[in-house]
Amino acid sequence: MKILYIITQGKWGGAQRYVFDCATNLHSSFESSVGIGLKDAPQDLQARLKEKNIPYYNLKHLVRPISPLHDVLAIFELAKLYRITQPDVIHLNSSKAGVLGSLAALMYRKAKIVYTVHGWVFKEPLPLWKKTFYHVAEKITASIKDTFITISKTDYDTARNVLGVKQEKLQKIYHGISIPSFVSRAQAQASLTAHIPQRPTPEKLWVGTIASLYKTKGIDILVKAAALTSAPLEFFVIGDGPEKHTIKQSIKKYKFEQIFHIIPYVEDAAKLLKAFDIFVLPSQKEGFPYALLEAMHAGLPIVATNVGAVPEMIEHKKNGLVIKPQHPPHLAQALEELAESQTDRECYAQSAQERAQQFQLQTMIQETEKIYCKN
């Protein structure tokens, strides 16, 4: 059975990791290939697929921003790819690929259309016209798709109640991962301090996260929260992205250059998680955050916002703290609470590590294969 994955860009992130994990772990009876939007984006996914000998196709008109010309051309470009590759299943990922890939499928009716929702884009902090556009586009193309895979109860409920997707088309499948390989705390801290001008103050707790620097990741909220706490904390953000300059300006505004560090993108950054005393996820929007699951496996106490699948991964005051998004005072209070109690940190960390065992890569793959094979 031929599976063709479509994704809007190759820059490494949660959706790209999901496509890579699916494409490289299916049973040998499946044949995978991937179509990837090429314009103005790093080719991280392409490089990893090449290493695994998975065929991929660069799509020059499939772009992330709304672009009427490129979007129309992308529909025909995708339809041509469908005819060339002759897939049995077209598995769409990301909102843009989901909409355009569905429309292209109207010109190729030989494949089942599967769509994984990595968080609904119309729920992001966007201009009203853009939210409306994606809301209408998702609703119109919903009838073309055969199956929606949602990765959180929130996204499932949105599909059912907001978009009116029939229940028989919906399937919730959590992401899963293999247990990451972590370097020692000393090695991880040495690796991070190599990127900053002076060594951190020894008595401070390290608060860290791994994130692409987009507005939705809430790093600006984390900077504001840092300004509201008097706890002895030092902050580390591993990642890069379009909001980097704005975030650095905010750090400079609060004169936090000595305690708030933006670490350049590190490949397989999860290996460094044991450097941190507390992991924070301040996102405004998420699907199923891989970085959070990796932090759970690393045995870290966690503060995370109540978005996407987070409340299905972290139960408040049982294996972490779950707070309201976009609210610096709540985030500051939660960080202070963990900073003040080593007992809570240890308790939450152990519980989070135990909970992480329930999200297995093989389970995700097997449940996805069932969808591909379902008549």
Rounded Cα gap, residues 277 and 340, in angstroms: 12
pLDDT in tens, 98-132: 999 999 999 998 999 999 999 899 988 789 999 99
Q: E-assigned strands of the chain?
A: 2-7, 31-37, 56-59, 89-93, 112-117, 147-150, 170-172, 205-210, 233-238, 260-263, 278-281, 302-305, 321-323
Give CA–CA dist 158/202, Å, rounded: 46
Are 130 and 6 found together in one domain? yes
Structure token pair of residue 266: 């590190």
Residues 163 and 238 in one domain: no
Residue type, 184: S
The number of distinct structural domains making up the chain is 2
Cα 122 from Cα 131, distance rounded (Å):
4
Question: Given this model, what pLDDT does residue 40 score?
Answer: 64
Q: What is the pLDDT of residues 316-334, one digit of tens each?
A: 999 999 999 999 999 999 9
Amino acid at 259: I
Check whether residue 143 and residue 218 sit in a common domain: no
* Ordered DSSP codes for 41-101: S--HHHHHHHHTT--EEEETT--SS--HHHHHHHHHHHHHHHHHH--SEEEEESHHHHHHH
- Domain co-membership, 192 together with 118: no
Question: Do the Cβ atoms of 280 and 323 come closer than 8 Å?
Answer: no
For residue 69, what are the domain limits? 2-176+361-373
**366: which residues sit within 8 A by CB, 6+ positions away?**
none
Region at 86 (left for phi over 0; alpha for psi -120 to 50; beta for the rest): left
Supply the DSSP symbol for 24.
H
| Residue 307, domain CATH | 3.40.50.2000
78 with 204, same domain?
no
For residues 298 and 181, what is the distance between their CA atoms, to the nearest angstrom?
9
Classify residue 213 by burial, with Cβ atoms within 10 Å: 0-12, 13-18, 19+.
Answer: buried
CA distance 26 to 52: 13
What was the pLDDT predicted at 19? Answer: 98
CA distance 306 to 215: 16
* Same domain? 101 vs 161: yes
Q: Are residues 48 and 192 in the same domain?
A: no
Query: For position 124, what pLDDT does the model report?
Result: 83
Determine the Cα–Cα distance for residues 57 and 66; give it in Å rounded to an integer.
Answer: 21
State whether 145 and 195 are in the same domain.
no
Same-domain status, 168 and 256: no
The answer to whether the beta carbons of residues 216 and 285 sit under 8 Å apart is yes
Give, in order, the Cα–Cα distances in Å from 194 to each of 118, 187, 198, 274, 279: 34, 11, 9, 16, 20
Q: Based on the domain organization, do 198 and 130 belong to the same domain? A: no
3-state secondary structure of 207: strand
C-alpha 313/C-alpha 296 separation (Å) is 9
**Is there a single domain that holds both residue 201 and residue 306?**
yes
Q: Which residues of the chain have pLDDT under 50?
A: none
Is 367 in the same domain as 351? no
